[in-house]
Every structure is written in C-alpha cells, then in structure tokens.
Structure 1
Amino acid sequence: MKAAVAQRAAVGAVATALLAGLAGCSLPGDRSAQEGAPGAKKAPLPKAAPQLIGDGSTAYTGAQPNQLKPRKLKAGQKPPQFVVFSWDGAGEDSQKLFSHFRSVARKYDMTMTYFLSGVYLLPEEKASLYLPPQHSAGRSDIGFNDVQGIRDTVRELRAAWQEGNEVGTHFNGHFCGPEGGDSWSVEDWKSEISQAKSFVKNWRTNSGLADEKPLPFDYDKELIGARTPCLEGRKNFVKAAGELGFRYDTSGINDQIWPEKEGGVWDLGLQMVPFPGRGFETLSMDYNFMVNQSGTVKGDPAQHDYWGRQMRDGLIQAFDRAYDGNRAPLIIGNHFESWNGGTYMRAVEDTIATVCVKKDVKCVSFRQLVDWLDAQDPKVLAKLRTLKVGEAPAAGWPAFQRGVPALAS
C-alpha cells in the first residue's frame, strides 16, 4: 500500500504567545502479515461465546476485560492523576507501531484509546462505497487500504480491545480546510459517523476476509467518542455527537484544568503544554512538536534526539504541574508515524515509562476516564474546575473540599 502523510492544520491557541497549533494524520504504509510486535503475547480471549452481529465482522463477547471500577471521591480525598494516551488513525502497517504500543501498554499495565479511520477497513477497490460529505463518491485524502492491511489492522484492533483498550473513531476521509469539517453540517457529521460504523461492521464482506475472526465488540455500543481530523468542525460535530449518544469529544484545545460537559458531551480536548526552550506552549500532540521543530517529517538527523527529548520533557513538565497541582487529567495525542527518525515515538514511550509508574497515577482510555467523571458528584467536579493550571489547593485537599457534600465511598 502506498504511504502518505496528510499534514493538516488545526488552529491552536497559546497562553503566552500566538502560535498555530497543527494536528496531522497519515495513511498506513506498506502492510506486513507478521503477527504483532516481537515477543508480544497474545491477548486472552473473552470468556463469553461470541454472538455474531450482521455479517460476522463484529460480535458481542461479553463485558470488556481489564476495566477500572470507577469510584466516587471521598470527602477531602485527592483525585487520582489520570493520563490518556491516544492515537489518531490507528492502523497497523510495516512500521508495526500499533502492535508495539500494545506491548508497551501491557508492560506498564495501562490502557489507551485508538481512534480508527474507517477507510482503513475498506479496500481500495470498494472505495465507491464511501460517500463523503461535500465530496464525490470514493474520495479520501488518506486513501484506502489493501486486504493485507485490513487483516493486520483488524488483528490489532481485536487484541487491543481484549486487552482493555478503547476503539474510537477518527472518521473516514480526513478532509481539512475549506471543504473539510468546518464546513460540514450536523447532518454531514451524522453521515460520516454512520459510514465509519458501517466500515467497521462490514469489513469481512467488503474485504472478502470471511474466514477471519470477528472484532469482539458491538461497535454501536463501543463507539462513544472521537477526535475530528485537523480538530476541525467541532461545533457541529458535538451537536451530532450529543444527539447520537456519544459521551466525549477530544477535538478541542484546552488548558490543563478539569473538564466539563458541552451539550451533554465531555470536552476532553488536547491541551496546551510546555515547550522547553521556547517562549510559548504547544498542543499535546506529536505532530505539533514536529511542526514547531522541523516543519517537516524529515528534518535534520542531527537534531532528532534533541527534538524527541524536547517533546518528552514538555509532556513530563505538563504531567508534573498537574500531579503536584490541580490533578487535572492530562490528554496526549499521537500518530503511528516515524517522523524525524521515530523520535516522537521514543518520546511517548519514555513519557509512559516515567509517569505511568507513579503513585496515584492511572493511565487509561477516554472511556475509563469518562466512566470515572460520570461517577463523581457534579459539585465536586465544579469545585475542582476552580483550580487553575498547576494550582494545588493552598490549604490542602481536605480543606479544599470543605463545604462540598460528603460522598459515599
């Protein structure tokens, strides 16, 4: 399959300086049939007998394994420090980064969210099945897949879910700019969502891989959140998402403060984080660091290690000011790409190894985060939102919660 990089812009905001924040996505490259990352263990199968759905592309297999049980905060209790690592596009290609980061997640006993692009489960010869809003049939700015690529991606999605990870959506054709999400109506977004679901629910028929095992979930129930291409079109997408029962959106640009709902949907957007050595902050995504460092995916090799350390240090500084401060969830977005020699992938892995092992830290999927948020007293969350970026309660957590009704354990 042909590799392509769709470098797309998302408008960014900066607390200390004006900056254009960018969010990019890309198409999986040449596919390989090899099974997972070297040394990767196979995920345990759910115990329930599969109940096939539709053509057997998906199946109900029971409750998802490895999920946290959300608990209400007790009166005066310090919140856990949540960190969400998420991936836009989420396909397995010759780089084998999907399978690699599955093994990383197992190593650190964490879960992640994989935002699947629906066209990664649609073979190029069936491209005409995709009817993108405001574009001709079969048009996609990230192309489509081949049968081997679909087989590899489905294998990783299947195992990822069985390991407790979430499968969200990054929609389909990844259109940005004048004819992208910003110009789409609520009905356009509903159509795009419906088609993203359809490609997941019919991948066996569309690819001809009738003998492959189903994905072990009902995607109509599994799909509860998304990140829009280039972070565009959020206003109408959130309206559509609320009407369709989505629980969160992560297409916004926020500061590191406690989140709130918008139209019944949790706003869990990417965040402005420190950019060490620079006079401004940048968005908590690999692409944004890359654009502000090299401006290209193939920058000066002599700078690769420095750029990776710069991203790692920025993310860890963002973590530290939340962990030692207001304990707001840290939201991080990435792509399965080897930009600038893979330095950003190493930065992400180093960040995971540093923060996910600390006391009171929970590195979770967006689904697990919203489960916890929905279990809390709204008054407690409202009080938490009064804390600014990096601000710890001056008199300590027990005193901070005074006046907030006590909660059952």
Structure 2
Amino acid sequence: MMAVTKRFTVGTAAAAAATAAALVAGLTGCGGSDEAARTEGAPGPKKAAAPKNTVRLIGDGSTAFTGAQPGLRKAERLKPGQRPPQFVVFSWDGAGEDSQKLFSHFRKVGKKYGATMTYFLSGVYLLPEEKAALYDPPGHAPGRSDIGFNDREGIRDTVRQLRGAWQEGNEIGTHFNGHFCGPETGVGTWSVDDWKSEIAQAKAFVKNWKTNSGLTAEQPLPFDYDKELIGARTPCLEGRENFVRAASELGWRYDTSGINNQIWPEKEGGLWDLGLQMIPVPGRQFETLSMDYNFMVNQSGTAKGAPSMHAYWGDQFRDGMLQAFDRAYHGNRAPLIIGNHFESWNGGTYMRAVEETIAQVCGRQEVRCVSFRQLADWLDAQDPAVLAKLRTLKVGEAPKGGWAEFLAARPAAPAASPVKARQAG
C-alpha cells in the first residue's frame, strides 16, 4: 500500500465557546427524564434518585474519566453446540472530520443500522500546524509528517466526532502520526523503541490537544486514552513485526496490520491477530485485501479514474464484501474484517459501497457489527479449545455435521477406578 497523503481541508474557525463549568455539566447529565417517564405514577414508595455520573478530568482536561463506556454488550462464552455469531468489523484509518464530513456521516450510518466501529485516529490530526515541531518522528526531522497537520477548526470538529463516537459505543484506536511508508524511511525500518516513541507521541497529542490547540473551552474527550488504546493498524501495513513486539510489551490486545484469510483468528506475540483479509474481486480471477484502497489500486490505479467506471467499481467493492460475508455467514462464521479511509476516491464510490454493505449485513440474524475491542473481548471470553477447533475450518467451510455436533460438549473424562486411584496414590 502507498501512503495516504490526505490533508484536512477546513474553513474559517467559528467563534463559539461555553464556560468550563457548563462543559463539565454537559458530560455529567444522567437519564433523569427517561427515568421519570418510567416511574411516574407508579405505586409504592418513592425511589431514591440514581447517583449522577462523575467526570474526573485528566491532565490539562483534554481527556476525562467518565465511567464505563455506554452501549457495549457483555461478551459471553459460547454454549456447547451453539453456532458462533457472525462478527463484522468496519474500521477507518486516519479517522478525522474534515470538510467532507464523512466521520459524522458514518456515525449516523452506524446508529441507523446498529453498528459500532473502530476509528483509528492519526495523532497529528489533533496537532495544529504551528505546533508541528512538537512531533519528533523516528528517522525524520521534527515537524515532518507525510499527511500534514491540522488547524483549530479541524481539531475542534474532530474531537467533537471522537467524543460522540465513543459515547455511542465505538472504539478510538490509533493510526499513529506521520504515516511514513516505503523501504528506506518508512515505518518498516523502525525498531521496537521507535514504535514505543511513536505510540507515546500519539497518546500525548490526544491527551494534550487543548493545550496544543488553545481550544480550552471545548469539552474533554470522555475516556482515559491510556486505557482506551489497545490496538492499531500500521501505516501501509508496514513495520508489523517490531510494532507487535512493542504493543505486546505495552499490554495492548490486538493488531490489525496483517494479511489473513477468512479463518478464525489466533494470538501472535500475545496480541489477537485481526488483520485485513483476502476477499473476492467479483468478475476477476483473484482476491485482494478487504480495504477500499486495495480495490482502487486494482481497478483504476488512481483516485481519479474514469467517471464512467465509478459506479461499476463501487458495486464491485460492495459485491466483493458481500461475497466475503456470505461465505463466512453460511460457512465457518469467521469474523469479517473491513478497512477503509474517509476519502472520496473515484467520486466517493467506495464510501457508497461501504454504506450499502453495512445496510445489507448488520441487521441480519446472528450478525454483530462491532469494533475490534468488542471482538477481542468476545474472543477472550471463549474456551481456547473451542477457538482452536473453529480454526480448523477453512475459508467458507461449514461444519459437516452442523454446529450442534461440531461444537458439542466434550464428554467428561471417566473417573478413575478405586483400585487405580489407590495405585496412583
């Protein structure tokens, strides 16, 4: 993959600010009106009011602890013979809100179809260009970034989307910072310590966006980023080996920088390997990675291909995702991993394809469109022996005797006879 050279296009900053006290109050509101509607007129003693949520600001107030993330489903272990859910993960590299308003649009799409997603934020999208020198990328001069930086309006718009996305149950991961690719100076040349430096800086830009941008009247992000950040996708899928080592040492839980087939995942270096997958390219005799960029490269080779082909290329991407979904849904039920960018390549046809795919799959029976965090939670809750058995199923392969037989409870080991028990003792 080539570097994504997107730079935000933002307009003139608007002048609007509330007081800090009002901002904190906006985060501490509880569901009073809903609770009143449920209990009004009910017989019996009056119930005590539920305690209000508390907000504990962190550092300069760019982030805050606001309690458990709302809207998350508790991970449960499969029962013997139970068919696994069909997980689908839609994820976004370099997530930020610019003039295209794609972040806010796909938040609405997610709410409409009951899907939560993972947004991989690029840290430099919270760093204003005049403070670019604060970024010291490994192997490059301070202030260098292949995707540029942001301005105050772009930062404000992005943090508002990040705040709302998290409160809706979505995950905020990282796509790191400068997005350096290539064999000589890209992230593939980085050491474990280089990755740790890049991670620390990505965290710092999120934890100090108020100080760096001067947007002190804005509400904080409602999470502790040190705890929220548990996974990532590396730029151009490069440098994965040393990144996994660094992430494992930092206690992260997954990586999605690999290239896999549609089979059940396993751990590598202590992290769940939730990499992108090879999926069909309808009408052609090969498969490619489950990402908008890779379809674009195989279709037009440019972000500005022939307009007469835009609709066809979008349909091809959508149908490739749907074919990948169908063979998993009716086959081995392996999670389907989809990666995308907030871009309008080839007239925005890939954005249309993703939205149509979400609309067609996320409401189906036994389908869960979730974030990587939620998928990792579910995998961690399973019996390792069951996951190992699921990994024996090939791409699109359904259990021959059905799920009830394939995942039936194993018979308990026979108890030792009294004679043998005495001999063993």
TM-score, normalization by structure 1: 0.90
- Is the contact between residue 25 and residue 89 of structure 1 (CA under 8 Å) also seen in structure 2? no
Map 1:5-404 → 2, pairs under 5 A: 8-9=1-2, 24=4, 26-31=6-11, 48-177=53-182, 178-402=184-408, 404=410
Distance 1:208 1:245 in 2: 32
- Residue 26 of structure 1: how far off its partner (Å): 2.6
Amino acid in the other structure paired with 2:137: P
Q: Which amino acid is the alignment partner of residue 203 of structure 1?
A: W
> By how many angstroms is 1:404 displaced?
4.1
Instruction: Name the stretch that deviates more: 83-92 or 46-55.
Output: 46-55
More helix by share: 2
Q: Quote the residue 2:34 is aligned against.
A: none
| CA distances 1:141-189 after superposition (whole Å, capped 9, x unpaired) | 0010000000000000000000100000000000001211110000000
Aligned pairs, number? 379
Contact 1:316 1:351 in 2 (8 A): yes
Please say if residues 25 and 88 of structure 1, whose CA atoms lie closer than 8 Å, have aligned partners that are also in contact. Answer: no
1:220-272 CA-partner distances (Å, limit 9, x unpaired): 00000000000000000000000001100000000000000011100000000
Evaluate the alpha carbon distance shift between residue 45 and residue 139 of structure 1 in structure 2; reply closer, same or farther with a 3 A threshold: farther
The 1-side partners of 2:264 and 2:211 are apart by 43
SS in 2 for 1:357: coil
SS of the residue aligned with 2:6? strand
**In 1: Cα distance, 2:187 partner to 2:122 partner:** 15
SS at match of 2:159: helix
- Coordinate RMSD, CA, aligned: 1.7
SS state at 2:334 partner: coil
Displacement after TM superposition at 1:24 (Å): 4.1
Per-residue CA deviations over 1:296-354 (Å, capped at 9, x if unaligned) read 11110000000000000000000000000000000000000111111000000000000
The residue type equivalent to 1:75 in the other structure is P
Using the alignment, how far apart are the partners of 1:172 and 1:152 within structure 2? 18
- Describe the superposition over 1:11-51 as per-residue Cα deviations: whole angstroms up to 9, x where unpaired: xxxxxxxxxxxx746332235779xxxxxxx9996762210
**1:405 shift after superposition:** 6.9
Report the CA distance between 1:103 and its aligned residue: 0.2
Q: Indicate the structure (1 or 2) with the bigger Cα radius of gyration.
A: 2
- Distance in 2, matches of 1:352 and 1:91, equals 20
In 2, the alpha carbon distance for the partners of 1:43 and 1:97 equals 25
- Partner residue of 1:13? none
Q: State the SS of the aligned residue for 1:75.
A: coil
The unaligned stretches of length 5 or more in structure 2 are: 15-25, 31-51, 413-425
For 2:7, give the aligned amino acid: L
CA contact (8 A) 2:254 2:271 kept: yes
Counterparts of 1:31 and 1:378 in 2: how far apart (Å)? 51
The 3 A distance-change label for structure 1 pair 317 and 33 is: farther
- Distance in 1, matches of 2:102 and 2:156, equals 15
Equivalent residues of 1:166, 1:367 under 8 A apart: yes
Q: Is the 8 A contact 2:28 2:54 kept in 1?
A: no
- CA change 1:65–1:201 in 2 (3 A) is same
TM-score, normalised by the number of residues in structure 2: 0.87
Secondary structure in 2 matching 1:154: helix
Letter in 2 for 1:277: G
- Measured at CA, do residues 162 and 302 of structure 1 come closer, stay the same or move farther in structure 2, by a change above 3 Å? same
In structure 1, what residue type is equivalent to 2:110? A
5+ unaligned residues in a row in structure 1: which ranges?
1-7, 10-22, 35-41
State the match for 2:33 in structure 1: none
User: Structure 1 186/62 Cα, relative in aligned 2: closer, same or farther at 3 Å?
Assistant: same
